[in-house]
Amino acid sequence: MIREFEGLNEEDAISNAVKSLGLNREELDIEVIENKKPILFFGKAKVRIRVFVDHDLAEEGPEESPDGEFKGQILEFIEELVKYMDLPGKVSIHARNESKYIVNIKSAYSAILIGKKGKTLDAIQLLANIYASKVGNPRAKIIIDTEDYRSRREKSLISLAHRVAEQVRRTRNSVLLEAMNPFERRLIHTTLNKRNDIETVSEGDGLYKKIRVLYKGRYERRGNARYNR
C-alpha cells in the first residue's frame, strides 16, 4: 500500500503518517517527495512524503492474543531457533509498549548471532516477526538484540553520518555508504536532515539500499534514486 502525507516539516509529516496508519515509525518505508521551504518571509514550509506499507501491516486490527501467552510463544520460538542454529543462549523478552517486544539473547556466541553488519540478527528478527504474525499478532514488532548491539550500532552510524558529512562538505564530492536496512537508512537520513549544506539519497532496490551523501547545489537527481527515509 502507498500513501502520501504532508506536514510543516519532515517530523510532522511522519507523525501524521504514524497516527493515520496506526503503525510504528520503524514499520514505515518513507520517501520524501517534496520539501518546500519559504523564500524569506513569503510562503509556508511544507514537506510531503510517500509511505510504503506492507499490505499485511495495513490490514484492520488482528485478533487479540493474550500478552503472556504471546510472549511465551515468541520466547519458545527464539530459543528453539538459536538452539537449531547450534548457538544456544538465554532468551528474555519484555514489552516496550503494547505492540513492540524487545528480545535479548545472552549467549557465548553473540558475535556469530550478530553476523556481519548485524545481518544474522536481522534474519532472526525477520523470522520472529513472521512467526508473530502466524500466531495471531501481525501488528507486533519484534526487536532481536544481543550484547546491546542495536544501541552500539545506532551510535556508530550517527558518528559515521557526521564524519562523512564533514568529508563531503570539505571536498564537495559525494560519498556512497554501505548497504543498510530501512531502519539504519532512516537513522542516517534523520541525522543529516538538519544540516543545510548536506543532502542524502537512497540508491538501489530491495531491502538493503545504499545512501549517497551529497553537498547541496551539486546534486542532479538520478533516474533510479529516491529519498527513502
Q: Where are the domains of the chain?
A: 1-60, 67-147, 149-229
CATH architecture of the domain with range 67-147: 2-Layer Sandwich (3.30)
| Other C-beta atoms lying within 10 Å of the C-beta of residue 107 | 17
Query: Over the stretch 171-208, which tens digit does the pLDDT of each residue have?
Result: 999 999 999 988 889 899 989 988 888 999 999 888 78
> What residues of the chain score a pLDDT lower than 70?
1-2, 24-27, 37-45, 52-67, 95-98, 217-229
Give exposure, 54-93, as e/b (b: 16+ Cβ within 10 Å).
eeebeeeeeeeeeeeebbebbeebbeebbeeeebebebeb
Considering only CA atoms, which of 58, 47, 39 is closest in space to residue 8? 47
pTM as predicted: 0.60
Q: What is the CATH T-level fold of the domain 149-229, as seen in this structure?
A: Ribosomal Protein S8; Chain: A, domain 1 (3.30.1370)
